[in-house]
Amino acid sequence: MRVLFITVLLIYILPAMSQVKQSTISVVEMQKLYDEVKTPHKYGLVVVPSEKKDLIDCPSVYKVGKKWFMTYIIFDGIGYETHLAESNDLLNWKYLGKQLSTSSNDNSWDSKQKAGYNALINTKWGGKYDLKKYKGKYWMSYFGGNTAGYEPEPLSIGVASTTNIPDRAFEWNRYTTPVLSSTDKDIRWWENRHKLFKSYVIEDKKKNTGHQFIMYYNAVGDSLVNNKKTRWYERIGMAVSDDMVTWKRYLNDPVVHHPVGITGDPMIQRINNTWVMFYFGAFWENKTGGFNRFAASKDLINWTDWTGDDLINSTEEYDVKYAHKSFVIKHKGIVYHFYCAVDKDDNRGIAVATSKDIGKSKLKFIKE
């Protein structure tokens, strides 16, 4: 009888206990992660529009050789396009040009909206932050649409690639159809409002999901509050792929979400043996504006949400309305937290906060 009990314990109970342990992050480890990534010193604006009408958003940062590059999107009053800048020091940025441009004379699914995010950026915390290639190509995911305006329905997710080193501005090669559409038959309940937004693609060498690549993305879906249906809820879910082109949704439910408001714009880093997802929240209960948070995971599927202080929130004139949408790296012992800053007049640009006081930026928004 004792032998049978031990056998059952080894085969069924211990593996289950191990899985539970892996799927949760302790309060102590979450606090250590917060202490590692926090950036209490706001340097200020580092990228601002050259024209007041333009709205800059959603930074992605990577390195080629000794130079840093930032991909970001600009809404110009018609739609989103994807742009590129370069820097020697992560603080002073030089504009280079466009990577994904809109078009007024074609009928493609993404003719009016192309908001891009670099894929397969090295996820090692304090690492090289270089772009990894797959099948000899660099990759980018983006959300697109063929209707002009500020984030109009429908919006879907596409992919683009290039064999050229992305250390200059040029148009990337786009695939002709979306890889995740807001009208797909397998659309989930939390993304049923025809708007798929930011995506972030990483390689999972351990294949925790059974697939080589994971895409985290946020989308708009319905929720019931006080028995009333509301449509402006965003949550983060997953899709998986083995070739960067064919994607399928993973899990029925989102992996990071909150009862109200927006949970969006994921960005992933690996700190020691823990995955950290930086994301932004907005319009939560008892909170105003937009702010940056994080969650952590051991397996890229089960995420533990940080419940302490925000990583970034509105404290300055240039980010008084929103301080949100993270891209966080560590370089030479300093943590740089790039984020989208929006002032009271809706000027929108990229700011950075750091773990060490490195001074203050003199860059300002254009004022009328």
CB contact set of 117 (below 8 Å; sequence gap of 6+): 58, 60, 71, 140, 141, 142, 198, 199, 200, 201
**pLDDT (0 to 100) of residue 108:** 94
Q: Any idea which fold 2-354 has?
A: Tachylectin-2; Chain A (2.115.10)
At 357, is the secondary structure helix, strand, or coil?
coil
**What distance lies between CA 80 and its chain's CA centroid?**
16
**pLDDT (0 to 100) of residue 226:** 59
**pLDDT (0 to 100) of residue 172:** 98
**pLDDT (0 to 100) of residue 322:** 97
pTM to 2 decimals? Answer: 0.92
**pLDDT (0 to 100) of residue 286:** 81
**pLDDT (0 to 100) of residue 287:** 85
Amino acid of residue 72: Y
Euclidean distance between CA atoms 100 and 360, whole angstroms: 32
Q: What is the dihedral of CA 174, 178, 179, 181, to 10 degrees?
A: 160
Q: Which residues of the chain have pLDDT under 50?
A: 1-21
**pLDDT (0 to 100) of residue 107:** 85
| Token couple for 242 | 């083995």
**pLDDT (0 to 100) of residue 18:** 35
Q: What is the dihedral of CA 282, 288, 292, 294, to 10 degrees?
A: -80
**pLDDT (0 to 100) of residue 182:** 84
| Closest of 337, 335, 363 to residue 349, by C-alpha | 363
**pLDDT (0 to 100) of residue 224:** 56
